[in-house]
Amino acid sequence: MKYFTSLALLLFTLQAKAQNAAPSWLEESLYGNGKINTVVIVVAIIYLGIGLWMFSMDRKLSRMEKKLKP
């Protein structure tokens, strides 16, 4: 219990320090130029593509399993 409490206090301290930090190069370059929207769209397209690929693989495997069952 003592370990958990000290770990929780440490994490809260780190979070408080992170909020007071100066803007990073990521914030200045992506948010400032409006490029973050492009990054979000690209990541969403990648996730959508992976999801569609997994769905099609599941359908193909289901069909193969039906053919193999007597």
Q: pLDDT confidence of 34, banded at 50, 70, 90?
A: confident
Residue type for position 30: L
Task: Tell me the pLDDT of the chain averaged across its residues.
Answer: 79
* Residue of higher predicted confidence among 32 and 54: 54
Residue-number span of the structural domain to which 24 is assigned:
2-68
* Percent of all residues in the chain with a pLDDT value above 90, rounded to a whole number: 40
Domain count of the fold of the chain: 1
Give Cα 38 distance to the centre of its chain.
16
Average pLDDT over residues 47-61: 96
**45 has a pLDDT exceeding 70:** yes
For 17-28, the pLDDT digits (tens) are 555 555 676 677
CB 65 within 8 A of CB 57: no
For residue 55, how many other CB atoms are within 10 A of its CB?
10
Cα–Cα dist 37/53, whole Å: 24
Q: Could you tell me the pTM of the whole model?
A: 0.54
